Amino acid sequence: MLLVATTVVVGTGAGVSAQRPPTVAAAANLNFALTEIANQFKVDRGTSVEVVFGASGTLTRQIQDGAPFELFLAADEEFPNQLAKAGLTRDAGVVYAVGRLVIFAPNGSPLTVDERLNGLARVIKSGKAGRFAIANPDVAPYGKAAESVLRKRGLWDAIRPQLVLGDTIAQAAQFATTGNAMGGLVAYSLVLGPGFAERGKYAVIPESDHRPLRQRMVLLKRAGATATQFYDYLQGKTAKAILRKHGYGVPQ
């Protein structure tokens, strides 16, 4: 009986969504960068898009389940490729940015930051290690990269009991910066965001320590004109400058 009532409501309400601006799914590391680009897009082109941030894996799953996104900016290449293979995208898409990982420690933390994670090794050895935040490697590419960095430095097993996993890289950054953890491995683009400079210190992790965080975006099959416009805009000069400002590498 409930299902019948809902179907009636759906049938009559289906047209309403048509007027809304297109929804773009974006990996959480793009929080500041993409918001700025979308605002600039509105100024330059006069139309807008709505952005929903989440973990790439979660967003991929939602798209597979029918979520009405028109453009997907992932934090890696595997998730968009998965969607392309399933026939849900227009094409294979393009790499729009390359991300970087940083190790972050909030003010007052016993952890000292450096690109080789010596500070982390030291605090673990001292027995004074508190919680350490990374994104969930299953759904967030930045989390997967964090895991490979920790493994490379031989610290994965030792730090494992101390890990807190954020469902997205943004949540991991939250844990790392609010003093609930002694620090974490988070996205460079997030610590460059407003208000972060005063909260603690960070060191950028060398690219050679993990597989490159090549971030690919794809247009979904249902993408309309505005979404396509935005896709092109993201590959243009203005967008690239903004991405660079937020710590990303951009393809030439």
Partner 1 sequence: MDWAALRVSLWLGAGTIAILLPVGIWFGRLLAIHQFRGKVLVEALVTVPLVLPPTVLGFYLLVMFGARSPLGQAFQSLVGQTLPFSFEGLLLASAIANIPFVVQPIQRGFEAIPSDVRDAAACCGLTPWQRFTRIEIPLAWPGILTAAILAFAHTLGEFGVVLMVGGNLPGETRTLSVAIYDRMQAFDDRSAGVMAATLLVIAVGTLMLTTTLSRRVGVRRG
- The answer to the question of residue 10 lying near partner 1 (CB under 8 A) is yes
**Residue in 220, 217, 229, 216 with CA at minimum distance from that of residue 48:** 229
- The answer to the question of residue 20 lying near partner 1 (CB under 8 A) is yes
Q: Which is nearer to partner 1, 2 or 43 (CB)?
A: 2
Restricted to residues 155-184, the positions that interact with partner 1 (CB under 8 A) are 168, 170-171, 173-174
Restricted to residues 48-67, the positions that interact with partner 1 (CB under 8 A) are 50, 52-54, 62, 64-67
How far is the C-alpha of 154 from the C-alpha of 201, rounded, in Å?
Answer: 23
- The answer to the question of residue 6 lying near partner 1 (CB under 8 A) is yes
Minimal distance, residue 159 CB to partner 1, in Å = 24
33: its two tokens: 């960068």
Residues near partner 1 (CB under 8 A), total:
35
- The answer to the question of residue 3 lying near partner 1 (CB under 8 A) is yes
CB-count exposure of residue 10 (10 Å: 0-12, 13-18, 19+): exposed
CB-count exposure of residue 250 (10 Å: 0-12, 13-18, 19+): middle
**Residue in 39, 59, 97, 63 with CA at minimum distance from that of residue 216:** 97
Residues making contact with partner 1 (CB under 8 A): 1-3, 5-7, 9-11, 13-14, 17, 20, 23, 28, 31, 35, 50, 52-54, 62, 64-68, 168, 170-171, 173-174, 193-195
